[in-house]
Amino acid sequence: MVNVLALNSGSSSLKFGLYRVGSSQTETVLSGEVESIGAHESRFSAADSHRNELVTETAPIATHSDAIIRIGGLLADSGIPAPDAIGHRVVHGGPTLLQHCVIDDSVLRRLETAAAFAPLHTPAALAVIHYAQEHFPGLPQVACFDTAFHADMPDVARTLPIARELVASGLQRYGFHGLSCESIVHQLGDDLPARTVIAHLGNGASVTAVRSGKSIDTSMGLTPTGGVMMGTRSGDLDPGVLLYLLREKHFDAVMLEDLVDHRSGLRGISGTSSDMRLLHAAAPADAAARLAIQMFCYGVRKQVAAMVAALDGVDLIVFTGGIGEHDAQVRAGICSGLSSVGVSLDEGRNRTANDPISSFASSCAVRVLASQEDEQIARHTGTLLASAGPSATTRLVPQR
């Protein structure tokens, strides 16, 4: 068994967990989150494996470096064995980093080059990696990529319909939320059917077709901006929209990025919020909020149907992610238009997320499962350490 600290960074948050990883099992020691990093009041919370609160406090945490120092302090104060390795979630490794790997100087250079593919995510992840190297010197560190699960998609799904020389330069469909999808496949184990559609729905959202445990298609493309409409991201757009904005409205790259990543999706349509909970509360009196919710459900429903076509049928649909796991109204809105493929929900079970949520009459099972990205990071990190042999802690130290 090795102790792995999993770090899952966002632009203003840092989820973390300490896991004991063996060849056949992964045990949670503790888990927590630092929220609103850089704000006047940040929130730091953690719980043990039985969900007993270890700490909940509100205080300024200015940077991700400060967050890692606070996490290190918690581990030391709790008397918990120190981590043997650290695993990081990295959204996009670009065209040269397609498999989970131990971090060294070469990997860091390639991650810096790949930051252009995911400017919302990769710079924050790189900062956390550097801070972790400083605070936990000598520990092996591992990069776990969201794109890895989709790396073997068939050419027909992976290739973008653009000039061949651009495709050859690495412009392709990469797909994301791969660690979440892997965690669903792991949880299902022997119960995983041949044809599964996973809808990871949160502030970022994607839909993936899984055949016998392998990704064969997914809604996101070159970057995490593509696919279905999201909290603040547009999802797929007619390229002519961008050309029009360039020519007629004199947008530049910075303005386009701000539009498609920060001022679109639920926030753009509602004009008020990207938080589905707030939109539900406003919807009875706010037509724009209602439209935003309807468009989200409609867009996800179309992508689910597309993945059913890619799989030539479906045996199981899984909802995961913050919205997927907790929003019964959205799940019902998505599934209400899928009766033609045999989907039927049990209203009461859907309302309480009592898995499975499909009715007895449904020819396709529908389930709600928690995304376990951090555990998946820990498993991959443990596997890489085991494959490196007993001297991993000396041979895998990142080069300075």
Render pLDDT for 354-397 as a digit per residue (tens, 0 to 9): 999 999 999 999 999 999 999 999 999 999 988 876 544 433 33
Q: Is residue 296 part of a domain?
A: yes
Name the residue range of residue 377's domain. 2-145+373-395
Q: Is residue 381 part of a domain?
A: yes
Residue 288 sits in a domain whose CATH number is: 3.30.420.40
Examine the domain organization and report whether 9 and 129 are in the same domain. yes
Examine the domain organization and report whether 111 and 7 are in the same domain. yes
**Cα–Cα dist 397/141, whole Å:** 8
Single out the catalytic residue among 48, 77, 104, 146. Answer: 146
Examine the domain organization and report whether 385 and 289 are in the same domain. no
Examine the domain organization and report whether 65 and 19 are in the same domain. yes
Active site residue 77: no
Q: Is residue 150 part of a domain?
A: no
Q: pTM of the entire structure?
A: 0.93
Examine the domain organization and report whether 247 and 211 are in the same domain. yes
Sequential pLDDT tens for the chain (400 residues): 899 999 998 878 899 999 999 988 999 999 999 999 988 889 999 999 898 999 999 999 999 999 999 999 999 988 888 999 999 999 999 999 999 999 999 999 999 999 989 888 888 899 999 999 999 999 999 999 999 999 999 999 999 999 999 999 999 999 999 999 999 999 999 999 999 999 999 999 999 999 999 999 999 999 999 999 999 999 999 999 999 999 999 999 999 999 999 999 999 999 999 999 999 999 999 999 999 999 999 999 999 999 999 999 999 999 999 999 999 999 999 999 999 999 999 999 999 999 999 999 999 999 999 999 999 999 999 999 888 765 444 333 333 2
Residues 6+ apart with CB under 8 A from 21: 1, 2, 3, 4, 27, 378, 379, 381, 382
Q: Which residues pair with 209 in a beta bridge?
A: 197, 217
Examine the domain organization and report whether 139 and 201 are in the same domain. no
| Collapsed DSSP state (helix, strand, coil) of residue 223 | coil
Q: Which tokens sit at 332?
A: 């019902």
Q: Is residue 166 part of a domain?
A: no
Examine the domain organization and report whether 205 and 125 are in the same domain. no
Q: Which tokens sit at 145?
A: 């990529």
Examine the domain organization and report whether 214 and 279 are in the same domain. yes
Examine the domain organization and report whether 220 and 360 are in the same domain. yes
Q: Is residue 382 part of a domain?
A: yes
**Cα–Cα dist 55/316, whole Å:** 38
**Cα–Cα dist 249/308, whole Å:** 39
| Collapsed DSSP state (helix, strand, coil) of residue 209 | strand
How many domains, in total, are found in the chain?
Answer: 2
